[in-house]
Amino acid sequence: MRRYLVWPAGMIFPNILLKCATFRMLHEKKNDDDLRLSTWKMGRFRFFLIASIVQFVYYWIPGYFMPILTSFSVICFMNQNNIVFGQLTGFYGLGIGALQLDWQSVTAFLQSPILYPWWALFNILIGFIGIYWIIIPILYYTNTNAKNLPMFSSNSYARNGSRYNYSLITNDNRHLNQRAYELYGDPVLTPIFSVTFCIQFALITAIIVHTILYHGKFILKQFNMSADEATNDVHGALMAKVGKEVPEYWYTLLFLSLFVCAAIVCELATLMPWYYLFLIISIDFILLLPSGIVKAITNQDIELDLLMSLLGGLVLKGNAVANMTFRTYGYTIQRRSLTFIACLKLGHYTKIPPRAMFTMLVVSTLIGSTLSYVAAYLIIKHLKDLCRSNDWLCPEVRVFKEISYYVGTVGTANFLHAHLYTLYFFLIGALCPIPAWLLHKRFPTVGWLRYVHFPVMLASLSQIPPIQTATYPTWLFIGFIFNYVIRKRASDWWIKYAYIFSAAMSAGVGAGLICIAFLPVFPVHWWGNAQNEVNGDGCKYSTANYYGLILDPTLSTNL
C-alpha cells in the first residue's frame, strides 16, 4: 500500500499535516522566520500557547460548572410541552437548532472539522439534511410501530415498546434458542438505527465503485511503476537520501507472526474458530485501498463494523461472543492498518529513516497494546458498572454491544428475514457514484461535479449512532467557517494558524479533562448542571416516543 497511499504526493492525510504543523511549531527554533512574509506577525508557538490557555480556562465552564452547554436545545425552549417539537429539536432527538459550545463534545467522534476540506463538508451537509432531517421524520411519523419508540435510540425493542430482552431467547447467553426467538418475536429498531444499517451497506459498494471510476487509472499507473518512479517527487527524492526503504519481507514476517498470535488467542479463549481470520483479512484487504484513498484525501474514516457483524452472524450463527470477536478483528485490522500507513506518511513528511520508523511503530504498538490490555483487564475486574454510572458515558460501547446482540445472537438469517430491504442498499450504493461520474465526463467544465463524493457523504453519517445528530450542525458550521470563509478571505491566516488552532483547542481540552477528572462532582445543583436528568438538555420530550412516554429514563445519558 505504500506505493498508493504513502509515496504519492496527492495522498496528503490531513490529520498527519496537523501533526507535522504541531511538531514543527514545537521543535523548530526559528519557526517565525516567515514573519516578514506574512501580515500576521504573532509566532505560531505564542499563538498555540494563548489559544490552548484560553481553551483550558473556558473548558471548566462546560466540563465542570455548566455541562448543559455541551447539549443546548435552543429552539426547543420555544415550546417545551410539544412532543413532536421536542423530538425534532431536542439534542437527544434530531437536534434541529441544537448547539454545542464544547470543543470536546463536538470533536469526540468526528475529529476536528478543520481537517476536512470544504467540499467534503458540503457533501456531508447535503447527505445529513436529506437523510436525517427529511427522510427520518417521514419514516418515523408514517410508521405506527415506530411511533412507540423514541426518535433517536440505538436500543432494540419488543413490539410492545419495551426494551428487547435477549436473555429470553438464548440458552446460555451465547447461543440462540430459535423456538424461544420465534415466540418472543423480532427485535424492532428505531428508523434512525435502521437507516444506519442501510447507509453502511450502501457505503461498502459505493466506495469500491467510486474508487474504480475516479482512481482506477491512478492505481494502475502506480502498480506498473517501479519504486524509484513511484517516489519521484520532492519528498521521495529527499527520503532516498535519508535511508533505505523497508523490504517487503519485513512486513510479511510481521503479518505472519501477528496472524499466528490472533489464531492462538481465538482458539485458547474460545472466542471463535481461528480459520475465520482468513475471511476477515480477505475482506479488509479488498477494502483497504479504497478506504485508504478516502482517508488520505478527505480525512474521513470508513466504518466496517456493521458489515463485519452481518458476515459474522452469517457464518457464526447465533453466537454473540463469536460475532463480537469477528467484528472486532474486522474493524480493528482495517483501522490499525490505516493508522500504520498514516504514520509512515508522517515519516515521509518529516524525513524519518523508513527502517527506524518501522521499528519504532512495531515497538510502540507492542507496548501500547500490552498497556491497553492491562488497563482493560483492571477496569473489567474492578469497575464492572463503570458504563452504568451517570458520571461516565460509554456510547460507543453500548452501540457495539447492541449490534453484537442483535446480529450475533439473533443471527444474520433472522435479521435479513425481518429487514430484507437492507440488502438492496448494496446495489443502491454501487449505483450512486455512476451518474455523477458520467455527468462529470460529459460536462468536464462544470466545476462542482468533480466534488460530488458519495462515499464521503455516507461515511460520516454511518456513525450515527453513537454520534448524536445534533453534533453535526455545530461541527459543520465550524468547518465551513475555517475551511471556506477564513481560507478564502484570510488565506495567510489559515495557512499559518488553522492547524495550530485545532491542536491548541485539543490540548486545552486535554489539560482541562485531566484536572477535572481528579475533582468531585460540582456540589451546587442548578439548571446549568442538570445534564444527568432526563430533560438535561432543556427539552424533556426529546427522548420520548410519539405519545410522550419516556421508555428509558436514562436514555439521554446512555447515548
Torsions phi, psi for 392 (to 5 deg): -130, 130
d(CA 140, CA 278): 40
d(CA 533, CA 540): 9
Single-letter code of the amino acid located at 277: L
d(CA 366, CA 261): 12
146-163 tens-digit pLDDT: 888 888 887 888 777 778
The confidence score (pLDDT) of residue 49 equals: 92
What are the angstrom distances between the C-alpha of 428 and each of 206, 388, 463?
Answer: 8, 39, 19
**C-alpha cell of residue 59:** 473548558
* Dihedral angle computed from the Cα positions of residues 263, 266, 267 and 269, in that order, rounded to the nearest 10 degrees: 140
Instruction: Give first-to-last CA distance, the chain, whole Å.
Output: 37
Nearest by Cα to 339 from 361, 355, 316, 356: 361
The confidence score (pLDDT) of residue 390 equals: 47
The confidence score (pLDDT) of residue 299 equals: 86
d(CA 456, CA 167): 38
The confidence score (pLDDT) of residue 431 equals: 93
d(CA 78, CA 100): 18
Where do the structural domains in the chain lie, given as residue ranges? 32-152+468-559, 162-452
* Dihedral angle computed from the Cα positions of residues 480, 121, 537 and 532, in that order, rounded to the nearest 10 degrees: -120
The confidence score (pLDDT) of residue 226 equals: 60
The confidence score (pLDDT) of residue 174 equals: 60
* Contacts of residue 19, Cβ cutoff 8 Å, sequence gap at least 6: 346
Whether omega for the bond prior to residue 273 falls within 30 degrees of 0, making it cis, is no
* Contacts of residue 287, Cβ cutoff 8 Å, sequence gap at least 6: 204, 207, 208, 302, 304, 334
User: Which segments in the chain show pLDDT lower than 70?
Assistant: 29-40, 172-174, 225-236, 318, 383-402, 404-405, 408, 527-538, 551-559
d(CA 306, CA 331): 9
d(CA 231, CA 8): 7
Grouping H, G, I as helix, E, B as strand and the rest as coil, residue 420 is helix
Q: What pTM value is reported for the model?
A: 0.84
Nearest by Cα to 468 from 549, 531, 385: 531
CA 470 centroid distance within chain: 15
The confidence score (pLDDT) of residue 556 equals: 39
d(CA 395, CA 264): 31
